[in-house]
């Protein structure tokens, strides 16, 4: 398995695959299907200062090649998460990344500060890109200066590495990435969902109660690959890639685009065993393609690893 | 909770758009609770992407054979209706919590009220209750006579009243019209069907009861929070103000969740 | 067929369906399959001042639910188009919209001015959003001020209505739409393709020679619907909707989102008879759903037509 | 150019990853030119979305039966290999321009050079040429003996040399090694296979000839400009500096397009 090991700030992973935030709860549900120790790590659902009821239902809709969701950051709040959800994960020997959301900067700072103190929190992922929350939120994800300030202030209080999860719904994602990098982000997660909508032609109304929802699944993979390809050439911090991963080849594609680890979202719904299956398929596929170490192919599509190879050998 | 490729053993068209399918496989042995559902990947690949929740209608534990009855609504159920004998379908299940029956005893009377494709899960329930010696009053609501299915099967084990909206069969009207005609006392009721029907049944029925809900689902296993329902004030426990239809339900005590 | 008739500036269409630019050449190829008079209109391939050789091949790649293309605006140039391609279309009694592209503002102005004089050109569609051209091009599509100036200057010389085709690769498409509307645009076309990439895991290189390509097909439909839903509430000019239309229900969805006509791109490749089939399916579907006039449902998802109905009856 | 749902009449596995399929339908009557191709929608729905170009390998005009031979490469051809007898597949074709044969006359000698899945279109061509009384020298290149197909069929109508890269059958090496061993004079050659092979054949062969190209396609009918190839200086006509592989080709005069 050592060909799969990756090391990212705060995340020492025996393989590069973890579930994506919001698609795996706090781990208990899928823990009934398999031993979570098989995972490279785990990203849990967005946590906010206070409990959040989320949006009205319907919250999901299927579209061609993907799905829309507008869960609305439903979560039991910081206190409940630290006291009841995270302790349950202590029995596993895998890094835990906690997704943090908020409505004003102070929310992010407060939650990040407290989560940093929790024993098994390995890293924080700032969700500045949730398209399903009406107040605030989305601005953090589309204005480089605001995103940078948020990152800087969270970094001041956080004692674990901080990843910033970028929104794809922007004109220039490279600017966003550079801004949060220079503000001290330890890594990037990309991409969050594209804002989309589906209308029921029988009623004439949006299928999702919130009207718009976040598009995830295979449909967004080409956008994710392109963005990671562009961003990985412009920043030095590692990228956790996500968006439509359903096969081991998809994982390789994300690495070749420039990701250093990956997260799997929607695929868990299609197959509860998606993550462990991807991990074993990945090893098989790497052997077929003669890839000895997954780290060797990071950024291969734009020559990063070719450069490394030619200079080191 | 298991994922398995079940093999289709039968596919039969019951009405213009309702089909009955039988599938076999080891995981069927776990499908012991009426009211639970399975989550079906109707085709390989991404078209469609998500699983489809379908209720368990009947189970033959010896033959490890599951029966489902489904209406062709859109792409997913259309594809399901085109799957043939001997093909396999990836099925996740059994999922959720079914109808509780422990509170009923021999000689008790239970009311079962189903509407449209809400009827199927009540059949497996009916069989279990009859085994226990519970007497059943079954009300099945359809739109027209042409839409009726499962009536014969129910007739063999219970006292059945059919209602149709146009009166082309049985009582003309809604299931609630039939409920109001019941004079006998029943200890509990069980209902499954479209949400407006569930609401009406809750208001009309004269006992405690259980309702089975339909919600749009993502994961089907409690992880994505797609399918939550708000909880009535008096049922809030541990501060949890919601229930997940997929893993807390799909069956709830009448009145527990706001529908 | 009168239930299908729509009237847009310069485009008097017997039905709301036309092929999208770049997916139908200049009409001759599909004219071999069916009588183009069946169409509501036709949008031809992008025209530039001079002949353009386009990008190296491979120029297309298939992805889940869609395809990537990087044709690179290959076209025979203004003169050849006006002398050889457009005259061929004269035998048809359908409005012709010509897609115009360029690298500097003067290009757009020059081409638009000359096309305005061509007998059978009913409208011009400014392609300010082609993601496959390296120089210029893309900026027009992401900066509201530049887009507005371009629109204003083209409007000064154009004697036919001018539609502006918007790029979805922006943070705020409503701002773009409002900017070109106040600069005098007669209508909007949306959306063009999303920028995407696919990597061949066997070679580690992008499949498309140009590296990135434009994502089209069903995968982008939710994004198109959301954007049209938002833009149609903010502008008064009509929108030609496109992005992943493959069924009659898709067309209804675009109308309910706020489009007043639609264009069909990728679907032509899947089925050369896509457009005529969609037109006949649309009528059947409208009858099933009890929609008497397609114009009645424009913007129904946000209440536009409901409002109109309640105030007029 | 027609779109029709052809019915699968046979599906046979030839090697570990090469399959032969037969399909029937009215449009097959139009498939008279060797070297043309069909554009196949391998499944309904969007998975996969685009058609797949496959060469016409043989046609029985009386039985209206088309034969294709294809290698399982990715998703599309995999699905094709799983389609069964009596199922229908939506086929657009015949498309493109095939191999010209008017310049050859009875008694002439023609060289046919195919590599891998470039071999199939040459079979229909070979039959047409033999009908005309043209004598054939056929060279078929494969990777190993296990990959060889269509050899027997060609043997019945022509003089065949097989090459394999590992020498496990026939001449060890590439098709060009076999071409160089030909002593006889041939009036024309026809070749189809991977691009590097086409280049090598163009350089080695000692006559005018025709090459059939593979390019990624969108529409397949000349409308999208996905499949263009640059034209050699001397072939530029009417200022057109490119050719579309789908509608101007896939067969070109050797040297006409830059490969
Ligand atoms: C617990 C549960 C049990 C069910 N049992 C049965 C049954 O036994 N027989 C039966 O005919 N139907 C049953 N349904 C409804 C069935 O799931 C839907 O009819 C089916 O998912 C429609 O899929 P489709 O692709 O044909 O329709 P589409 O409209 O194309 O589906 C699009 C998306 O919406 C979802 N969806 C559409 N309608 C419903 C619905 N009513 N409930 C939940 N999701 C929906 C689909 O799952 C899919 O993700 C049940 C639903 C639930 C939640
Ligand atoms: C004119 C023509 C005739 C052909 N005839 C034959 C034949 O007779 N037998 C045969 O086995 N193969 C033939 N091919 C190649 C065949 O089209 C591809 O192998 C097939 O499209 C691969 O599809 P896939 O889904 O299995 O692979 P994937 O790699 O999953 O395909 C992804 C996309 O790339 C395209 N693609 C992949 N490889 C090729 C290729 N080599 N050429 C063009 N497009 C490609 C596919 O069409 C699809 O759009 C021909 C190609 C052309 C252009
Ligand atoms: C149901 C659902 C809930 C999600 N919730 C969150 C969330 O709470 N925080 C977050 O940062 N991303 C959330 N996401 C986005 C995913 O983490 C991921 O970025 C996205 O779905 C793309 O990956 P995928 O295509 O593999 O699903 C959610 C996605 C889905 C489908
Ligand atoms: C092969 C191809 C070529 C295209 N060329 C152009 C073009 O020249 N000008 C333009 O404005 N849009 C062009 N487009 C974009 C389409 O007009 C359309 O906006 C987009 O494909 C979305 O619609 P669809 O999903 O129906 O294809 C092209 C699209 C494709 C697939
Ligand atoms: S469907 Fe995911 S929690 Fe119920
Ligand atoms: S494939 Fe579209 S022009 Fe050749």
Chain D, residues 218-247, CB within 8 A of chain C, namely: 218-230, 239-242, 247
Question: Which pLDDT score is estimated for D76?
Answer: 97
Q: Is residue D249 predicted with pLDDT exceeding 80?
A: yes
B185 touches chain A (CB under 8 A): no
Task: For residue C64, give Cα distances in angstroms to A194, A223, D46.
Answer: 16, 12, 8
Beta bridge partners of B140: B114, B162
Give C237-277 pLDDT, tens digit per residue: 999 999 999 999 999 999 999 999 999 999 999 999 999 99
Boundary residue ending a domain (B71, B95, B119) = B95
User: Residue D47: its chain B contacts at CB < 8 A?
Assistant: 45-47
B74 Cα to the center of ligand 1, angstroms:
9
Domain containing residue A104: CATH number? 3.20.20.70
Q: Could you give the number of structural domains in chain D?
A: 2
Contact C64 D47 (CB under 8 A): yes
Q: Is residue A134 predicted with pLDDT exceeding 60?
A: no
Calculate the average pLDDT of chain D: 95
User: Residue C195: its chain A contacts at CB < 8 A?
Assistant: 223, 226
Of D223, D226, D227, the CB nearest to C24: D223
Do D125 and D188 lie in one domain? The reply is yes
**D101 within some domain:** no
* Pocket lining: B222 vs ligand 5, CB cutoff 6 Å: yes
A202 touches chain C (CB under 8 A): yes
Q: Is residue C311 predicted with pLDDT exceeding 70?
A: no
* Pocket lining: B67 vs ligand 1, CB cutoff 6 Å: no
Q: What are phi and psi of B139, to 5 degrees?
A: -120, 125
Do D246 and D146 lie in one domain? The reply is yes
Give A231-252 pLDDT, tens digit per residue: 999 999 999 999 999 999 999 9
Q: Point out the ligand nearest to the CA of residue B78.
A: 1
Of A64, A199, A249, the CB nearest to C219: A64
Do B88 and B116 lie in one domain? The reply is no
d(CA A202, CA D135): 66
Burial (CB < 10 A; 0-12, 13-18, 19+), residue C131, is buried
What confidence tier does A307 reach under pLDDT thresholds 50, 70, 90?
very low
Stated as kind and residue range, the H or E segment containing D167 is: none
Mean pLDDT of D247-254: 95
Q: Could you give the number of structural domains in chain C?
A: 1
B69 Cα to the center of ligand 1, angstroms:
12
Give C203-223 pLDDT, tens digit per residue: 999 999 999 999 999 999 999
CA atoms within 13 A on the CB side of A289: 21
**DSSP 8-state symbol, B185:** -
Q: Is residue A310 predicted with pLDDT exceeding 50?
A: no
Burial (CB < 10 A; 0-12, 13-18, 19+), residue A284, is exposed
* Pocket lining: D255 vs ligand 6, CB cutoff 6 Å: no
Quote the tokens at residue A53.
């009821």
Do B116 and B230 lie in one domain? The reply is yes
Assign B122 to helix, strand or coil. Answer: helix
Range of the domain at B25: 2-95
Boundary residue ending a domain (B64, B95, B126) = B95
User: Which residues, 6 or more positions from B37, have their beta carbon under 8 angstroms from its beta carbon?
Assistant: B53, B54, B55, B56, B93, B94, B95, B96, B121, B250
Number of residues that this document lists for chain C: 313
**A307 within some domain:** no
Do B143 and B67 lie in one domain? The reply is no
CA atoms within 13 A on the CB side of B6: 31
Range of the domain at A182: 6-54+70-196+215-297
User: Which residues, 6 or more positions from A310, have their beta carbon under 8 angstroms from its beta carbon?
Assistant: none
Kindly give the number of the ligand 5 atom that is closest to the alpha carbon of B244: 4
* Pocket lining: C243 vs ligand 4, CB cutoff 6 Å: yes
* Pocket lining: B149 vs ligand 1, CB cutoff 6 Å: no
Do D230 and D131 lie in one domain? The reply is yes
**C87 within some domain:** yes
Phi/psi-derived region of residue C210, left when phi > 0, alpha when psi is between -120 and 50, beta in every other case: alpha
**D237 within some domain:** yes
What confidence tier does A309 reach under pLDDT thresholds 50, 70, 90?
very low
d(CA A3, CA A138): 38
Of A63, A204, A229, the CB nearest to C222: A63
D46 touches chain B (CB under 8 A): yes
**B230 within some domain:** yes
**B47 within some domain:** yes
Kindly give the number of the ligand 5 atom that is closest to the alpha carbon of B222: 3
CA atoms within 13 A on the CB side of C69: 26
Q: Which of B51, B214, B217 to mutate to test the pocket of ligand 1 (most atoms within 8 A of CB)?
A: B214
Q: Which of D221, D242, D243, D252 to mutate to test the pocket of ligand 6 (most atoms within 8 A of CB)?
A: D221
d(CA C255, CA C245): 12
For C228, name the nearest residue in chain A, comparing CA atoms only: A197
Beta bridge partners of A214: A69, A195
Question: Which pLDDT score is estimated for A104?
Answer: 86
d(CA C37, CA D71): 41
Give D114-124 pLDDT, tens digit per residue: 999 999 999 99
User: Residue C30: its chain D contacts at CB < 8 A?
Assistant: 221, 223
Q: Are B77 and B32 in contact (CB under 8 A)?
A: no
Do D223 and D133 lie in one domain? The reply is yes
The active-site residue, picked from A23, A130, A275, A305, is A130
Kindly give the number of the ligand 1 atom that is closest to the alpha carbon of B78: 26
Q: Is residue C312 predicted with pLDDT exceeding 50?
A: no
Contact B242 A71 (CB under 8 A): no
* Pocket lining: B246 vs ligand 5, CB cutoff 6 Å: yes
Do B83 and B173 lie in one domain? The reply is no
What confidence tier does C132 reach under pLDDT thresholds 50, 70, 90?
low
DSSP string, chain C: -GGG-EEETTEEESSSEEEPTTSSTTSHHHHTTS-GGGSS-EEEEEE-SS-B--PPSP-EEEETTEEEE-----B--HHHIIIIIHHHGGGS-S-EEEEE--SSHHHHHHHHHHHHTSTT--EEEEE---TT-TTTTHHHHH-HHHHHHHHHHHHHH-SS-EEEE--S-SS-HHHHHHHHHHTT-SEEEE--PEEEE-EETTTTEESSTTSEEEEESGGGHHHHHHHHHHHHTT-SS-EEE-SS--SHHHHHHHHHHT-SEEEE-THHHH-TTHHHHHHHHHHHHHHHHT---GGGGTTGGGTHHHHHHHHH-
**C309 within some domain:** no
**C305 within some domain:** no
d(CA A66, CA D46): 12
Mean pLDDT of B140-153: 96
A70 Cα to the center of ligand 3, angstroms:
10
Give A271-302 pLDDT, tens digit per residue: 999 999 999 999 999 999 999 999 999 999 99
Stated as kind and residue range, the H or E segment containing B19 is: strand B18-24
Chain C residues with at least one Cβ partner in D under 8 Å? 22-25, 29-30, 32-33, 45, 51, 53-54, 57-62, 64-67, 69, 71, 74, 76, 80, 217-218, 246, 266, 268-273
User: Residue A212: its chain C contacts at CB < 8 A?
Assistant: 226, 229
Residue B157 C-alpha, separation from nearest chain A C-alpha, in angstroms: 37
Beta bridge partners of B253: B210
A169 touches chain C (CB under 8 A): yes
**C206 within some domain:** no
Domain containing residue D49: CATH number? 2.40.30.10
Q: What are phi and psi of D7, to 5 degrees?
A: -100, 130
| Known active-site residue C130 | yes
Flag the least confident range among A10-14, C54-58, C129-133, D198-202.
C129-133
For C270, name the nearest residue in chain D, comparing CA atoms only: D50
Contact B225 A268 (CB under 8 A): no
Q: Enter the pTM of the model.
A: 0.96
Quote the tokens at residue C64.
């889940």
Of C195, C218, C252, the CB nearest to A226: C195
**C35 within some domain:** yes
**B259 within some domain:** no
The gap from C-alpha A168 to its chain's centroid, in whole angstroms, comes to 12
The active-site residue, picked from C23, C130, C275, C305, is C130
d(CA A196, CA C173): 13
Pairing state of beta strands A162-165 and D159-164? Answer: unpaired
For C302, name the nearest residue in chain A, comparing CA atoms only: A205
**C64 within some domain:** no
Do D7 and D86 lie in one domain? The reply is yes
Question: Which pLDDT score is estimated for A135?
Answer: 52
D87 touches chain B (CB under 8 A): no
* Pocket lining: B220 vs ligand 5, CB cutoff 6 Å: yes
Assign D89 to helix, strand or coil. Answer: strand
Pairing state of beta strands C60-63 and C42-47? Answer: unpaired
User: Residue C64: its chain A contacts at CB < 8 A?
Assistant: 65, 218-219, 221, 244
The gap from C-alpha C303 to its chain's centroid, in whole angstroms, comes to 25
**B84 within some domain:** yes
Q: Is residue C313 predicted with pLDDT exceeding 50?
A: no
D47 touches chain B (CB under 8 A): yes
Do B79 and B124 lie in one domain? The reply is no
Quote the tokens at residue C286.
């409208």
Give D135-174 pLDDT, tens digit per residue: 999 999 999 999 999 999 999 999 999 999 999 999 999 9
Give C143-154 pLDDT, tens digit per residue: 999 999 999 999
**C154 within some domain:** yes
Question: Which pLDDT score is estimated for A136?
Answer: 53
d(CA C233, CA C226): 11
Question: Which pLDDT score is estimated for A138?
Answer: 58
What confidence tier does D180 reach under pLDDT thresholds 50, 70, 90?
confident
Contact A64 C244 (CB under 8 A): yes
Q: Is omega for the bond preceding A181 within 30 degrees of 0, making it cis?
A: no
Boundary residue ending a domain (D44, D66, D95) = D95
Mean pLDDT of C91-114: 95
Contact D218 C60 (CB under 8 A): yes
Q: Is residue C104 predicted with pLDDT exceeding 50?
A: yes
Q: Which of D218, D240, D251 to mutate to test the pocket of ligand 6 (most atoms within 8 A of CB)?
A: D218
* Pocket lining: A69 vs ligand 3, CB cutoff 6 Å: yes
B85 touches chain D (CB under 8 A): no
**B102 within some domain:** no
Mean pLDDT of B19-40: 97
Assign A287 to helix, strand or coil. Answer: helix
Do B131 and B221 lie in one domain? The reply is yes
Question: Which pLDDT score is estimated for D122?
Answer: 97
Do B137 and B205 lie in one domain? The reply is yes
**D103 within some domain:** no
User: Which residues, 6 or more positions from A4, have their beta carbon under 8 angstroms from its beta carbon?
Assistant: A14, A15, A16, A40, A279, A282, A283, A286, A294
Contact B223 A57 (CB under 8 A): no
Residue A267 C-alpha, separation from nearest chain C C-alpha, in angstroms: 14
Q: Is residue D134 predicted with pLDDT exceeding 70?
A: yes
Contact B224 A67 (CB under 8 A): no
Find the DSSP H helices in chain D.
75-82, 120-131, 151-157, 175-180, 195-204
């Amino acid at each position: 398995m050592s060909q799969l090991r990756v090391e990212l700030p705060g995340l020492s992973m025996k393989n590069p695959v973890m579930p994506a935030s919001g698609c795996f709860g706090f781990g208990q549900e899928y823990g009934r299907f398999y031993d979570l120790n098989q995972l490279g790590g785990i990203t849990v659902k967005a946590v906010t200062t206070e409990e959040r009821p989320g949006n009205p239902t319907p919250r999901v809709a299927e579209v061609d090649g993907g799905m829309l969701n507008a869960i609305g950051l439903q979560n039991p709040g910081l206190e409940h998460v630290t006291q009841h959800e995270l302790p349950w994960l202590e029995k596993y020997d895998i890094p835990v990344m906690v997704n943090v959301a908020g409505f004003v900067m102070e929310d992010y700072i407060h939650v990040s500060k407290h989560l940093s103190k929790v024993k098994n929190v390995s890293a924080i992922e700032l969700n500045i890109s949730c398209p399903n929350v009406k107040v605030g939120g989305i601005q953090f994800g589309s204005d480089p200066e605001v995103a940078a300030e948020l990152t800087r202030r969270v970094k001041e209080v956080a004692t674990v590495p901080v990843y910033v999860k970028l929104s794809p719904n922007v004109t220039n994602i490279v600017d966003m990435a550079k801004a949060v990098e220079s503000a001290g982000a330890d890594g990037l997660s990309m991409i969050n969902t594209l804002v989309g909508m589906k209308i029921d032609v029988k009623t004439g109304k949006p299928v999702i109660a919130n009207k718009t929802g976040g598009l995830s699944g295979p449909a967004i993979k080409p956008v994710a690959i392109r963005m990671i390809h562009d961003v990985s050439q412009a920043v030095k911090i590692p990228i956790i890639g996500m968006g439509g991963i359903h096969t081991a080849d998809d994982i390789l594609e994300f690495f070749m685009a420039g990701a250093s680890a990956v997260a799997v979202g929607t695929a868990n719904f299609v197959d509860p065993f998606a993550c462990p299956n991807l991990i074993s398929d990945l090893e098989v596929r790497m052997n077929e393609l003669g890839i000895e170490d997954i780290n060797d192919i990071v950024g291969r599509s734009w020559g990063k690893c070719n450069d490394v190879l030619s200079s080191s050998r | 909770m298991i994922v398995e490729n079940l093999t289709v053993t039968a596919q039969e068209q019951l009405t213009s758009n309702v089909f009955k399918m039988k599938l076999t496989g080891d995981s069927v042995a776990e499908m012991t609770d009426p009211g639970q559902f399975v989550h079906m990947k109707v085709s390989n690949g991404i078209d469609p992407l998500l699983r489809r929740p379908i209720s368990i209608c009947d189970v033959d534990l010896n033959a490890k054979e599951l029966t489902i009855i489904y209406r062709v609504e859109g792409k997913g159920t259309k594809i399901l209706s085109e799957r043939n004998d001997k093909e396999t379908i990836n099925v996740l299940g059994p999922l959720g919590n079914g109808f509780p029956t422990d509170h009923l005893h021999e000689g008790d009377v239970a009311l079962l009220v189903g509407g449209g494709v809400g009827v199927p899960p009540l059949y497996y329930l009916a069989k279990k209750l009859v085994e226990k010696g519970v007497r059943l009053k079954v009300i099945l609501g359809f739109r027209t006579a042409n839409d009726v299915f499962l009536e014969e099967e129910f007739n063999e084990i219970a006292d059945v009243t059919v209602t149709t909206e146009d009166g082309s069969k049985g009582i003309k009207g809604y299931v609630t019209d039939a409920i109001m005609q019941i004079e006998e006392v029943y200890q509990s009721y069980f209902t499954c069907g479209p949400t407006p029907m569930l609401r009406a049944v809750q208001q009309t029925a004269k006992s405690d009861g259980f309702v089975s809900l339909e919600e749009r689902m993502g994961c089907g296993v409690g992880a994505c929070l797609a399918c939550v329902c708000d909880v009535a004030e008096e049922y809030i426990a541990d501060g949890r103000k919601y229930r997940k239809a997929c893993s807390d339900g799909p069956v709830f005590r009448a009145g527990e969740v706001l529908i």
